[in-house]
Structure 1
Amino acid sequence: MFLILQFVLILAFIFKEPIAIAQYVPSWSNRVAPVNKHTDAAKPLYSVQFMTSYVDDHFLNEKFVIDIEAPFPWRDCVVDWNYYEGDCPTCRYPVSCKEYQCTDLQTTYFYRSHSCHSVNSGSKSPGSQHCNCPVNVVSPVDGTCSQALLNYDLFSLNASDGRNPYPSTYNSGPNAGCVPSSVFDSFPENVRGVMAFSRSPYAKPTGVMVVGHNPYDVRVWKDILAICLPSTLSSPGVMFFGDSPYYFIPNSNVDIRGLLSYTPLLKHPDSFGYFIDVKAIVIKGRSINVSYAGNSTTKLSTTEPYTTFRSDIYSSIVRIFLKVTKRIPAAKPVAPFGLCYNISKNRTKPGLKVPDIHLLLQGGSKWTISTANSVKQVTTHVACLAFIDGGLTSEPPIVLGTFQFEDNFLVFDEGDSTLGFSSSLINKGTSCANFNFTTPSNMYP
């Protein structure tokens, strides 16, 4: 049965037409996955957990680095033209070099990096008449380029009503790249792939098929991605796919959407990522005009750990912070940061309290960066302003990084082309680690 469902799903993806299996409409409205923080690589990264191979009547769980700029996902696997004839959990059915997906991913929706060389249009497997589809992939850890073979993959997630996961499982069959295991030597432990969530049509696994309690159910999802990155290693954050109310404990009756502000999402001709327009930065009544140089475009990144500012903007922020925190003794800067504080005498308070930073956005909304997202404690006695000088020619002038996203709820709505953001959930009595991943007994639609 599983292989039949998978085959139907692949056909649906190939022809890009919805397959109506049943008229039943489930009561849940999204899918959900846990998000983990990792600090055992060259830089902090965040992974999302998907169910992948179906072995011995159950799914295997695997973790993938979250990348909201990557054009397509890729992972540790092997392409196999005889996929249905053997038992190989890491094997995937290849995409032929003659199929349109191959052309798309080699010429339009490819990784744009100077570290990559051009790929051949196709190559035959040893001892086979079949033609594989080679594509380039770029590591979010160190920026190195590797060659992958394109395949038809399978990723699965639990359904959710916004409060808990359901036992039902949604499958999606996107195209993905297969790379050798050695490519992941620099990745965080137990992370074996990259999941793409960009604007590319080959990103965001958006499957429509469900197995589980209602095995022939079809669901059309809104193109909405919600991310909540955790600030700790011990408890997961959460990612949602599709429109829904979102509820976190302890305020289980408060929809997180009621806490959100919104700003338009912008497109950039040289990126599949997400951009917003920051008009100004305000710190304790002092304003920095970001757009005076004619470019206030700001990129959001889930692979850059700290927000980067063009030098003129960074210098203005540091200059204001030196004035408004002059009572806090300075410390020798700790790379990659340029402004640090000595907190050894701050024994009465945990950490350090500094003024909020307000990003004034297009449409009049305001994203507030509080102390938890602006100051990083790097040693027992030193805390630093968690921003980086990107240089005089940094383009775009601002890149918002993951430290500033932690415990902030972000909703990327492709349909409305808007970004919803909560600012710090900590200041609202909850956190990204407060979604209840427990599945209540007898919880069925």
Structure 2
Amino acid sequence: MAKSHSSQIPSNGLCHVPQQNPITGDVSFGNLVQDKVSVENGFGQPLLTVDGFLFSCSKEVLVKGLVNGVKGVLGFGRSNLAFQSQMVNSFGFERKFLVCLSSKSNGFISSGVGMISNSLSLPSPLSLSYTPLEKSQKTHDVVDGYYVNVNSIKVNGRRLAVDQPIGAVEISSTAPYTVLKSTVYETLKKAFSKSMTMVAPVGPFGICFRSRVDVPVIELVMQSEMVKWRIHGRNLVVDVGDGVMCLGIVDGGLGMNGTMILGGYQLEDHVLEFNLGTSMMGFSSSLLMEGNSCSNIRETVSKSIQSL
């Protein structure tokens, strides 16, 4: 992304907008400014330029906890200032964007398009399951994120007996691993202890075992038994060394706001389609289980477009 000299919009006190650090949760207020922004498409398509792109400049609090060298955050939330919202307004794109996070750091985000495999020939045609997007359950959430309703959690086909509904689950690329409220986490831990012999936990994980055991599949049951998000294989366990594997899910404590956050490790190498026009989220099964990956899709699509 390249930008020219920005110019501050004349402010009378109403052009200060709140921003929330996605890692620390700290909130700061910045000045609303505009600039000419050009977006280079990673798939070899023409450069897109927005002449009056709006964004805010705030204090250092916005980048605390982020990777060294990061100067800001490109938001894909539901606000009118979010990147995809401004792209929709500028180019008439569909109100949707597609995310494919890669464990190799070469995944992609594509704004205004649907399933890539519908228009291009990929090695394994992809299909998505769809579930409704829900509203944030957080009372003081500055940035309205993306939530889906989970009716129940199953381990090896057996439903966890929890004392409260799972409810609205946040889809988060900033949480490294899926987080469960302590009451639900302890129930999950008991279910795993019945099917395998656990070893001493290795932080931040609380459920660890020898790598030679068969790990149960975890299923998130959405609006019906027909719509399930299955977590297994690479998206379920983390190799911590010395022949020990840990479940890539952590305890969020009793004071956690909400019951569950679906974290980045579980999102990797899944195709996610956020359709704001229909308020639906589509998700694929694990690409890795099909011999595919987000990095492979990016490379295949790029080559296909360049050959047109």
Length-normalised TM-score, structure 1: 0.60
| 1:273-422 superposed matches below 5 A | 273-289=145-161, 293-294=164-165, 296-326=167-197, 330-343=198-211, 346=212, 353-363=214-224, 364-422=226-284
For residues 299-336 of structure 1, the C-alpha deviation after alignment (integer angstroms, 9 at most, x for no partner) is: 1112111111112211111111112223xxx3321222
Given candidates 166, 171, 174, the residue that maps to 2:50 is 171
Where do 5+ consecutive residues of structure 2 fail to align? none
- Match of 2:189, SS? helix
The one-letter code of the counterpart of 2:159 is S
Name whichever structure is richer in strand by fraction: 1
Residue of structure 1 equivalent to 2:108: 238
1:52 aligns with 2:52: no
Q: Is the 8 A contact 2:28 2:61 kept in 1?
A: no
Distance 1:279 1:305 in 2: 23
Deviation (angstroms), 1:251: 6.6
| 1:61-140 superposed matches below 5 A | 89=4, 91-98=5-12, 121=13, 133-140=15-22
The one-letter code of the counterpart of 2:30 is A
Given candidates 122, 147, 169, the residue that maps to 1:252 is 122
Q: How many residues align?
A: 299
The one-letter code of the counterpart of 1:151 is V
**Cα pair distance change 1:383/1:222, threshold 3 Å:** same
Distance 2:20 2:61 in 1: 14
Residue of structure 1 equivalent to 2:130: 262
For residues 27-71 of structure 1, the C-alpha deviation after alignment (integer angstroms, 9 at most, x for no partner) is: xxxxxxxxxxxxxxxxxxxxxxxx122xxxxxxxxxxxxxxxxxx
For residues 163-210 of structure 1, the C-alpha deviation after alignment (integer angstroms, 9 at most, x for no partner) is: x4313434374421124679647431342210111112221344459x
Residue of structure 2 equivalent to 1:153: 35
For residues 397-416 of structure 1, the C-alpha deviation after alignment (integer angstroms, 9 at most, x for no partner) is: 11111111011111111111
Deviation (angstroms), 1:254: 4.5
- Match of 1:194, SS? coil
Distance 1:182 1:358 in 2: 37
- Match of 1:320, SS? helix
What RMSD, in angstroms, separates the aligned Cα atoms of the two structures?
Answer: 3.0
Distance 1:155 1:228 in 2: 23
- Match of 1:263, SS? strand
For residues 271-300 of structure 1, the C-alpha deviation after alignment (integer angstroms, 9 at most, x for no partner) is: 41111111111111221155x525522111
Where do 5+ consecutive residues of structure 1 fail to align? 1-50, 54-88, 99-120, 123-132, 210-217, 347-351
**Cα pair distance change 1:251/1:439, threshold 3 Å:** closer
For residues 392-442 of structure 1, the C-alpha deviation after alignment (integer angstroms, 9 at most, x for no partner) is: 343211111111101111111111111101121101221111112646797
Distance 1:442 1:369 in 2: 35
Q: Is the 8 A contact 2:19 2:27 kept in 1?
A: yes
| 1:16-31 superposed matches below 5 A | none
**Cα pair distance change 1:279/1:442, threshold 3 Å:** closer
The one-letter code of the counterpart of 1:338 is G
Q: Is the 8 A contact 2:27 2:62 kept in 1?
A: no
**Cα pair distance change 1:170/1:260, threshold 3 Å:** farther
| 1:219-238 superposed matches below 5 A | 219-233=91-105, 236-238=106-108
Distance 2:168 2:87 in 1: 34
The one-letter code of the counterpart of 1:196 is G
Q: Is the 8 A contact 1:279 1:289 kept in 2?
A: no
Q: Percent identity?
A: 30
Q: Is the 8 A contact 1:170 1:207 kept in 2?
A: no
Specify the structure having the higher radius of gyration (Cα). Answer: 1
